[in-house]
Amino acid sequence: MPLFAMQPILRRIVRHVAQLHPELFERLGDSCSKQFLIDAKGMPFLLLLRPDPENLMLVAKSRHAEIPYDVLVSGKFVTLLRMIDSKTDSDALFFNRDIAVTGDTEAIVALRNALDDMDATLADDVATAFGPLRGPVRASIDAANKIVGSKT
């Protein structure tokens, strides 16, 4: 899928999650204005997130572009997804070097803790953002999780 076609989908996801979990921004504090660059290994693009309720942004960026960021988080896509959904412990992933973090450590610690306080899984939230398509979306995320879950 070309990048321009992804942007409205990502916008929809991030707005939906923000609407469902306003408490997330309180936990983030000042770190909500930071730019988080997410490098999910194996994906053809990078994601840039600014979790600012006043100025929310989640966009796909080309891997070849120069992108200014405050924090860079990298790891396999499904490892990152499982971490966000609290299926695996992020500290253990870090000790094991399955994820890497550079840049503003305070911001990434705040984001990790804010996401960890969410009871619902991001997979659920992403799926519900797609309305009638929620079934197939959820099934694809579960399938990806299962593949990795069976390997870990």
Partner 1 sequence: MSEFIKPELVCPAGTPASLRTAVDAGADSVYCGFKGPTNARNFPGLNFTKAELSESVKYAHDKDAMVLAAINSFPTAGRTDIWKKSVDDAVELGIDAVIIADIGMAKYVAETHPDQRLHLSVQAGASSPEAINFYVERFNVKRVVLPRILTVPEIKRVHDAIDCEIEAFVFGNIGMMAEGRCSLTNYVTGISTNMDGVCSPASHVDYEPDEEDGLTTRLGDFAIDCISCGETAGYPTICKGRYDTAHKKNYYAFEEPISLNLTRLLPDLMRAGVTALKIEGRQRSRAYIRSVVSAFRDAVDAYAAGDEPDITELIALTEGHKETQGAFKSKSWR
Q: In the bound complex, what is the minimum distance in angstroms from residue 64's beta carbon to partner 1?
A: 19
| CB contact at 8 A, 62 and 44 | no
Q: Which stretch binds partner 1 (CB under 8 A): 2-10, 11-19, 99-107, 124-132?
A: 99-107
Residue of 90, 122, 126, 127 interacting with partner 1 (CB under 8 A) = 90
Residue of 7, 41, 53, 117 interacting with partner 1 (CB under 8 A) = 117
Q: Which stretch binds partner 1 (CB under 8 A): 33-41, 49-57, 97-105, 126-134?
A: 97-105
Question: Look-up: residue for tokens 């870090």?
Answer: 94
- Contact status: 88 vs partner 1 (CB under 8 A): yes
Residue 130, CA atoms < 13 Å, CB-side half-sphere: 16
CB atoms closer than 10 angstroms to residue 15? 13
Task: Report how many residues bind partner 1 under the rule CB under 8 A.
Answer: 34
Q: In the bound complex, what is the minimum distance in angstroms from residue 36's beta carbon to partner 1?
A: 13
Q: In the bound complex, what is the minimum distance in angstroms from residue 30's beta carbon to partner 1?
A: 9
Q: In the bound complex, what is the minimum distance in angstroms from residue 81's beta carbon to partner 1?
A: 13
Shortest CA distance to 82 belongs to which of 64, 67, 59, 99?
99
CB atoms closer than 10 angstroms to residue 31? 22
Is the four-CA dihedral 110, 113, 118, 124 of positive or negative sign? positive
Q: Angle, nearest 10°, between helix axes 77-84 and 134-151?
A: 100
- Contact status: 109 vs partner 1 (CB under 8 A): yes
List residues binding partner 1 (CB under 8 A).
26-29, 31, 83, 86-92, 94-97, 100-102, 105-114, 116-119
